[in-house]
């Protein structure tokens, strides 16, 4: 995972926060799988460990998806500009924040609504002066 040292400007470091959490949860998943294996044929105990394994697997999927989404934003060269305001700065992160306005603003950015913003000028994949469909 050499490229994991990518950072979002402003502080989120994948190799400081996200990757260690993924590694930790993988370790816990492995522990639960071992416990499940040792509990085979023990009824309730086996069901409990099976449930714990499923829960950890789901959580790891979510963490990996979060990591992918962050990497997409990092690869775009995300660099917030305070003059653009909160909504425009958070818009590229719409997949990892629970704020409906972030996705709406992202779509508006892609449609060219905020031509004055720094974010608009650094969006990749321009075609005819307007960004193509990115991360929608």
Q: How long is the chain?
A: 136
- Torsion angles phi and psi, residue 118, rounded to 5: -65, -40
Mean pLDDT over 106-133 rounds to 69
> Does pTM top 0.85 for this prediction?
no
What is the rounded CA–CA span in Å between residue 20 and residue 96? 18
Q: What is the pLDDT of residues 33-49, one digit of tens each?
A: 999 999 999 999 999 99
pLDDT band (50, 70, 90) for residue 11: low
């Amino acid at each position: 995972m050499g490229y994991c040292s990518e950072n979002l400007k402003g502080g989120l470091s994948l190799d400081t926060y996200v990757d260690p959490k993924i590694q930790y949860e993988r370790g816990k998943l492995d522990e639960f799988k071992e416990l499940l294996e040792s509990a085979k044929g023990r009824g309730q105990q086996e069901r409990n460990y099976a449930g714990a394994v499923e829960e950890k697997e789901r959580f790891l999927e979510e963490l990996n998806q979060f990591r992918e989404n962050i990497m997409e934003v990092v690869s775009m060269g995300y660099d917030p500009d305070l003059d653009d305001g909160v909504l425009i700065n958070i818009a590229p992160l719409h997949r990892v924040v629970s704020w409906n306005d972030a996705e709406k603003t992202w779509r508006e950015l892609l449609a060219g609504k905020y031509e004055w913003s720094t974010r608009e000028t650094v969006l990749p994949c321009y075609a005819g002066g307007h960004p193509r469909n990115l991360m929608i």
